[in-house]
Chain A
Amino acid sequence: MGITQLNRRTLVQGVAVGAVGIHALAATNSLAQSDTTVKIGVSEDGYRTDERANVGFYPLNTGIFESLVHLGEDYQIKPLLAESWEFVEPNTWRITLRQDVSFHDGTAFNAEAVKYTMDRIASNGGGSMGLGADSCVIVDDFTVEITSSRPNRRLMQQIGHPNNSILPVGLNPAESRIGTGPFKEVEYVAGDHFTVETNAEYWGDDKPEIAGITFNFYPDPTARMLALQAGDVDMITDVSRPAAGQVEQMGATLLRSPVGGYEAFYIQIHGEEPYHLGADPAVREAISLAIDRNVIVQNAWQGNAEPGHTMIPPAILGDSVSIVAEPTYDLEKAKSLLEEAGWTGDDIRAKDGTALTLTIINGYGTAADHGTVPEILQAQLREAGIDLQIVQTPDTATYEQRLSLGEGDLWLEAGSQNDGNPGFLPGLLFASPEEGGDPESTMYGRAFAPGAAFDEQIEITNNAVDMAEVQEAAALGMNLLINEEHIVVPLCGFFRMVGASEKITEFSLHPSGVNQRWTSLRVKG
């Protein structure tokens, strides 16, 4: 009897159960398709939970909180909780607030909330705005004045950073998340997921048209991709450039943002032997001319980048972007420049017995972030008779330690812009260092600062009120770095990429991840 019959019966029962299971699964999938909750695979849960807690607004902006202004996709600030603002000499910004906004718990948004938030920022060191304990003053229920503890005319560009999102009076974001945003918190499980639902009472015009979002954390980019393929999530963020093609191969849609990040290398001009060759302007110009950006875009990034000609996103410079000339690729000119400067030789060039050997340091953010770019640069510079040695540092900290010691010629970096201040990054990296300043804090200036002409432009970006003037100065400064002094060699402009399943019908991807607005998500059904 029995074993064969039993097995047969078990098999039949198993198939029946399986069929029911598959049917149920299909029904569940069909339900999931009609559900307007979106599951998004994001890279990591990096929230703080102490007195500086930023849960819900940075680094993953869940749409619970909002700041006074919003950084648009064109990198220009737009009113959000602030209706208007004006500069009051010598150093104050008077901000008029919206009067029709309330927090998720029904509390009215007003000047008290802004003061509470700004005071909290001040008690945590003042942030990039440089706020002090008395910086924020309430003028009336819907007007505040903010005065930085240092001269700061870029405060409105900085205040839009999600880290400066407005909290209701007394709220500690480590304990609860109540904002004015288009989404309300449902559940946060550290390291696993963050779920938000649509705020039906949202004050803004761009009300969400979905039920909510669950952000699932997947630190590994391949697992994130597989989660999209498996249908565990409807969309994934931070698709890696080399793997972007796989998103479309698996039948999903690859969405691209405008350029918001960059890859460039900087040439040290103040180095000591043996890292002193970048001080020769001919060497720097030849390096710039010998780089074919299109090859890097195609070979290292499979077309998922743009040839770069600015360091920060071009959009942030507005109309002044045309001031920054596009670097050209001209290998013959690079060779003749080196010849004229006395760098001669059939293979690796030399001058006065010194070989033209340079060292590139790769490790910012991580060496892996740059893929095969160092090797491509090595091959291209070799064509011009320049020998390039590649040093990979294991992480950013080691890279910076090396930079503070000046041990390298070329420094390969990638970065992104998260606020609307066009002078911030160039000023931070290339302004002349303070006399007697801490070597580590002034390491960029010590290695790369071109001097007074550049510093003048940065002064304007810091002190002008008119944004057109700020943009022009930033563009002039950048042009000096890139096309006159050849200290910065921009390689690529990076755009963000997300992979979306067919459930997602519409989404506007912001070039800066932390400034993403999720209200543009549209889904089937």
Chain B
Amino acid sequence: MGSFILRRVMLLVPIWIGISLLAFLLTNLTPGDPARLALQRELGHQPDTAQVEEARERMGLNDPLPIQYLRWLGHAATGDLGTSYRNGQPVLEALTNRFPTTLKLAALGLAISVTIALPLGALAAVFRGRVVDHFSRIFALVGASMPSFWVAYLLILAFAVNLRLLPVAGSSTWKHIVLPAVTLGIAGSASLMRVVRSEMLENLGQDYVRTARAKGLANSYVISRHAFRNALIPVTTILGMRFAGMLGGTVIVETIFAWPGIGKLIIDAIFDRDYPIIQGFVIFMGTVTLLINLTVDIGYGLIDPRVRPAKS
């Protein structure tokens, strides 16, 4: 297992370089002058030619692209991802300040998804065609049909405006995380539940389940220890991908709930052509995604002994 993890970690280096090159080129090919946009934001109006030139020089944007890339890569190798054009904050500081906030939200959102989806999906399969199955189907249909911003506004109307139990938006108390996490949780649980249901149905029809029942094992044991455990294997992959997606793409929820996470940071950076933040974000999230995939691979081994690396 140790050498397996080491091999996977070593693979990160060329992938990092590939990601950085791609991020740098795509960012720089996007129309728009970051110097002009940064000045517009700072001044509140169009800058003049001299101001734009001074800013371009200061930001190093007048250098040829390969020089800019190598300079950036050299600094990145030492952990310096540059400073934001928008507010001058060091990129690494901006990312690491925001990431725990998003991580907290995504983790809670995923936990809510899992809490809803796993039991409901499993029950829907076990009681196929019964009330719980119909309920789960309606829940999945509604959950998958409603965009997350709509769910967010409904939750705000119910719990903040009418019941006045929770704040509309913000991040300063524990109460502030409830609504955005539930929004993410509901959005994620619908499709996850359908996957759990279909995997459970497939496994419940397998020979090994019939054999286990024929051996006289209790139905609850067969469902929980055999069928459910096997159904979790593809679900684990989906959870890993969904978690990575939540970490990088909760911008709508973060914007509505004024949650100062990494999603809002990157969207603002894209609109402002804040190259250092965009490039830093891509590298950072690429790394996080690779690490999540690595964790999922290791998790496979724990769930399914067949995919554990053989001992030498």
Docked-complex contact B88 and A397, CB < 8 angstroms = no
For B54, the closest partner residue in chain A by CB is A125
* B63 touches A (CB below 8 Å): no
- Which positions 42-61 of chain B face chain A at CB distance < 8 Å? 42-46, 48-55, 58
Docked-complex contact A397 and B30, CB < 8 angstroms = yes
- Which positions 230-277 of chain B face chain A at CB distance < 8 Å? 255-258, 260, 264, 270-271, 273
* B40 touches A (CB below 8 Å): yes
Q: Which of B12-20, B155-163, B199-207 contacts A (4 or more CB under 8 A)?
A: B155-163
* B143 touches A (CB below 8 Å): no
* B170 touches A (CB below 8 Å): yes
Given contacts A217-B258, A218-B258, A397-B33, contact A48 B49 (CB under 8 A): no
Picked from B41, B46, B257, B273, the residue with its CB within 8 Å of the CB of A223 is B257
* B72 touches A (CB below 8 Å): no
Docked-complex contact A223 and B87, CB < 8 angstroms = no
Docked-complex contact B160 and A226, CB < 8 angstroms = yes
Docked-complex contact B271 and A395, CB < 8 angstroms = yes
* B153 touches A (CB below 8 Å): yes
- Which positions 78-124 of chain A face chain B at CB distance < 8 Å? none
* B36 touches A (CB below 8 Å): yes
Given contacts A48-B88, A223-B256, contact A193 B49 (CB under 8 A): no
With a CB–CB cut-off of 8 A, which chain A residues contact B273?
397
- Which positions 180-230 of chain B face chain A at CB distance < 8 Å? none
With a CB–CB cut-off of 8 A, which chain A residues contact B32?
395-398, 400-401
* Number of B interface residues in the complex (CB < 8 A): 48
Docked-complex contact B58 and A125, CB < 8 angstroms = yes
With a CB–CB cut-off of 8 A, which chain A residues contact B161?
226, 229-230
- Which positions 400-439 of chain A face chain B at CB distance < 8 Å? 400-402, 415-416, 418, 424-425, 428-429, 434, 437-438
- Which positions 36-84 of chain A face chain B at CB distance < 8 Å? 46-54, 58-59
Docked-complex contact A49 and B264, CB < 8 angstroms = no
Separation of A398 and B31 alpha carbons in the complex (Å)? 5
Picked from A190, A226, A416, the residue with its CB within 8 Å of the CB of B157 is A226
Given contacts A220-B169, A232-B168, contact A440 B87 (CB under 8 A): no
With a CB–CB cut-off of 8 A, which chain B residues contact A230?
156, 160-161, 164, 167-168
Given contacts A397-B273, A440-B36, contact A226 B52 (CB under 8 A): no
* A304 touches B (CB below 8 Å): no
* B89 touches A (CB below 8 Å): yes
With a CB–CB cut-off of 8 A, which chain B residues contact A130?
50
* B3 touches A (CB below 8 Å): no
Separation of A428 and B270 alpha carbons in the complex (Å)? 26
* A34 touches B (CB below 8 Å): no
Separation of A402 and B33 alpha carbons in the complex (Å)? 12
Docked-complex contact A232 and B260, CB < 8 angstroms = no
For A434, the closest partner residue in chain B by CB is B49
* A345 touches B (CB below 8 Å): no
* A519 touches B (CB below 8 Å): no
Query: By CB atoms of chain A within 10 A, which of B50, B51, B157, B168 has the most?
Result: B168
With a CB–CB cut-off of 8 A, which chain A residues contact B260?
190-192
* A6 touches B (CB below 8 Å): no
With a CB–CB cut-off of 8 A, which chain B residues contact A189?
172
With a CB–CB cut-off of 8 A, which chain A residues contact B295?
none
B38 CB to nearest A CB, Å? 10
Picked from B40, B153, B156, the residue with its CB within 8 Å of the CB of A396 is B40
Docked-complex contact B49 and A442, CB < 8 angstroms = yes
Docked-complex contact A222 and B256, CB < 8 angstroms = yes
B276 CB to nearest A CB, Å? 12
B3 CB to nearest A CB, Å? 43
For A217, the closest partner residue in chain B by CB is B258
With a CB–CB cut-off of 8 A, which chain A residues contact B55?
125
Query: By CB atoms of chain A within 10 A, which of B46, B52, B157 has the most?
Result: B46
Docked-complex contact A418 and B51, CB < 8 angstroms = no
Docked-complex contact B169 and A223, CB < 8 angstroms = yes
With a CB–CB cut-off of 8 A, which chain A residues contact B257?
223
Docked-complex contact B40 and A48, CB < 8 angstroms = no
Picked from A46, A216, A217, A438, the residue with its CB within 8 Å of the CB of B53 is A438
For A395, the closest partner residue in chain B by CB is B271
- Which positions 284-300 of chain A face chain B at CB distance < 8 Å? none
Map CB proximity to B onto A118-159 as digits: 1 under 8 Å, 0 otherwise. 000000011110100000000000000000000000000000
* A219 touches B (CB below 8 Å): yes
Docked-complex contact A231 and B45, CB < 8 angstroms = no
With a CB–CB cut-off of 8 A, which chain B residues contact A50?
83, 87-89
With a CB–CB cut-off of 8 A, which chain B residues contact A46?
41, 87
With a CB–CB cut-off of 8 A, which chain B residues contact A47?
87
With a CB–CB cut-off of 8 A, which chain A residues contact B171?
191-192
Docked-complex contact A441 and B53, CB < 8 angstroms = yes
- Which positions 67-106 of chain B face chain A at CB distance < 8 Å? 83, 86-89
Separation of A53 and B86 alpha carbons in the complex (Å)? 11
Docked-complex contact B89 and A49, CB < 8 angstroms = yes
* A255 touches B (CB below 8 Å): no
Docked-complex contact A218 and B41, CB < 8 angstroms = no
For B265, the closest partner residue in chain A by CB is A191
For A428, the closest partner residue in chain B by CB is B46
Separation of A502 and B46 alpha carbons in the complex (Å)? 38
Docked-complex contact B170 and A418, CB < 8 angstroms = no
Separation of A488 and B279 alpha carbons in the complex (Å)? 39
B177 CB to nearest A CB, Å? 13
With a CB–CB cut-off of 8 A, which chain B residues contact A471?
none
Query: By CB atoms of chain B within 10 A, which of A51, A400, A424 has the most?
Result: A400
Q: 4 tightest CB-CB pairs across the interface, nearest first?
A: A50-B88, A397-B32, A191-B260, A401-B31
Given contacts A48-B86, A125-B55, A444-B46, 5 further A-B contacts (CB under 8 A): A25-B164, A192-B170, A226-B153, A230-B167, A397-B37
Which residues of B line the A interface, CB within 8 A? 30-33, 36-37, 40-46, 48-55, 58, 83, 86-89, 153, 156-157, 160-161, 164, 167-172, 255-258, 260, 264, 270-271, 273
Can you list 25 pairs linking A and B with CB atoms under 8 Å apart?
A48-B86, A48-B88, A49-B87, A50-B88, A52-B88, A54-B42, A125-B58, A163-B42, A190-B260, A191-B258, A227-B160, A227-B168, A227-B169, A396-B32, A397-B31, A398-B31, A400-B36, A418-B44, A425-B45, A428-B45, A437-B49, A441-B36, A441-B49, A441-B53, A444-B46
